[in-house]
Amino acid sequence: METADMDVEEQPHSDPSSNSYKRFGLKNSFQTNFGDDYVFQIVPKEDWTAMAVSLSTNAVKLYSPVTGQYYGECRGHSTTINHISFSGASTPHVLHSCSSDGTIRAWDSRSFQEVSCISAGNSQEVFSFSFGGSNDNLLAAGCQSQILFWDWRNKKQVACLEDSHVDDVTQVHFAPDHRSKLVSASVDGLICIFDTEGDINDDEHLESVINVGTSVGKVGFLGGKQQKLWCLTHIETLSVWDWKGAKNEASFQDARLLASNSWALDHVEYFVDCHYSEEAEQLWVIGGNNAGTLGYFPVNCNGVVAIGSPEAVLGGGHTGVVRSVMPMSSFQGGLAQNQGIFGWTGGEDGRLCCWLSNDSPQINRSWISSALIMRSPRTRRKSRHHPY
């Protein structure tokens, strides 16, 4: 176990291809080898008293997002966990997870015990899920080429959409400000928008289709009233759409090249996620290189579309591909209560890193949990570019 001390650096550049940005480094870090096991996803509880971390050991571990304290683990899935999410204000302690074992499970994050399990079928794999509907009673799940719906209150299946997609459904999201509208995305390159009012079926409830043209990895909402979608594909292209009108507003087919040209570091090899700030009305695409350095690249969709120079760089924390970023900019208590934490990252090196903003008197620090993962020789690796 080694300790590395690297203070935050302000690095102005005269080179127009790499403007000034804030570079975050490690301080007081602990290096531990986790072999082939790694972090998939990090998500916060609504009140930020806990965060859940899904691992390639088919378990979910819980930590304090402020102190890094380990709370416990939820274990029950038999294969890859594809998506995790905490419930909302009505059941804040409930954590949900879905897996390629065909189940969606609910856990009490206080006792770490399973409290319910819904099965999509023995031959199914569940890649994504979302709660919503006009009465907030629906659970939708992307299961291979189908979208299944349950009434989560009685766990009864109420619908199956099987004609809209022809390949794995990687994403399903109920629109935040339009709870009856469901957005789905698939490896078939299509994004579909459904109205889930009434008896749900493919013929009458499919409102519009967006043809992205290549396998879709992630989508998310942005803009006033969340009327727009950002879309990241498995070949690292980025696009922005008006989902109500199925209209393309920006397309970056060479997004990696644009991001790579905007900093002086190694080429951007992949994108991890996008982050949208309602307060700043700004979208960032988060890209990284194989050495584990991440950049927050601002995306301009108005006027001249562009991907700008990174406004923050997280370097020195990871030694491999980063899989998940959990920014804490939406933490309700602000920097004073979250102790200046910028966010958390996890990746294929098995590290869970915490980054401090330079508003913190501690300048910058990254914790790497020495108890994060136990090596499992039978673990099935989850491809970063495919949902299976």
Position 48 pLDDT exceeds 70: yes
pLDDT in tens, 296-348: 999 998 888 899 999 888 988 888 999 999 998 655 444 434 566 788 999 99
Of 38-47, 95-104, 193-202, which one has max mean pLDDT?
A: 95-104
Percent residues over pLDDT 90 in the chain: 61
Phi, psi at residue 109, to the nearest 5°?
-75, -5
For the ranges 103-112, 145-154, 203-212, 368-377, the lowest mean pLDDT is seen at 368-377
- Residue (of 198, 199, 146) closest to 168 by Cα position: 146
Percent residues over pLDDT 70 in the chain: 79
d(CA 61, CA 64): 11
- Residue (of 202, 238, 204, 207) closest to 220 by Cα position: 238
Residue position matching structure tokens 């700030």: 277
Token pair in block for residue 259? 């991001």
Q: Which residues pair with 313 in a beta bridge?
A: 23, 295
Contact 248, 241 (CB under 8 A): yes
d(CA 23, CA 148): 44
**Pairing relation of β-strands 228-233 and 238-242?**
antiparallel
Token pair in block for residue 180? 């009856």
Amino acid at 170: T
Position 25 pLDDT exceeds 90: no
Position 383 pLDDT exceeds 80: no
Token pair in block for residue 23? 């570079």
3-state helix vs strand vs coil in the chain, percent to 5: 5, 45, 50
Position 20 pLDDT exceeds 60: no
Enumerate residues 6+ apart whose C-beta is below 8 A from 87.
Answer: 46, 93, 94, 95, 96, 131
Position 209 pLDDT exceeds 50: yes
Tell me what pLDDT residue 33 has. Answer: 38
Tell me what pLDDT residue 2 has. Answer: 31
Contact 18, 313 (CB under 8 A): no
Position 377 pLDDT exceeds 90: no
Tell me what pLDDT residue 19 has. Answer: 45
Tell me what pLDDT residue 89 has. Answer: 80
Average pLDDT estimate for 138-167: 96
Contact 107, 116 (CB under 8 A): no
CA Rg value for the chain: 20
d(CA 186, CA 388): 12
Tell me what pLDDT residue 225 has. Answer: 84
d(CA 7, CA 125): 44
DSSP string, 122-189: TT--EEEEEEESTTS-EEEEEETTEEEEEETTTTEEEEEE-SS-SS-EEEEEEETTEEEEEEEEETTS
CB atoms within 10 A of CB 323: 24
Position 380 pLDDT exceeds 70: no
Position 24 pLDDT exceeds 70: no
- Average pLDDT of the residues of the chain: 83
pLDDT in tens, 78-122: 999 999 999 988 899 999 999 999 999 999 999 999 999 999 998
Dihedral of CA atoms 54, 58, 64, 67 in degrees, nearest 10, equals -90
Global confidence as pTM: 0.86
d(CA 297, CA 312): 8
Residue position matching structure tokens 């993962």: 373
Token pair in block for residue 239? 């696009």
Tell me what pLDDT residue 330 has. Answer: 56
Position 11 pLDDT exceeds 50: no
pLDDT in tens, 239-289: 999 998 899 999 999 999 999 999 988 899 999 999 999 888 999 999 999
- pLDDT grade for 185, boundaries at 50, 70 and 90: very high
Mapped onto helix, strand or coil, the DSSP state of residue 280 is coil
CB atoms within 10 A of CB 2: 7
Mapped onto helix, strand or coil, the DSSP state of residue 260 is helix
d(CA 33, CA 62): 20
- pLDDT grade for 22, boundaries at 50, 70 and 90: low
Position 233 pLDDT exceeds 50: yes
- pLDDT grade for 124, boundaries at 50, 70 and 90: very high
Tell me what pLDDT residue 21 has. Answer: 57
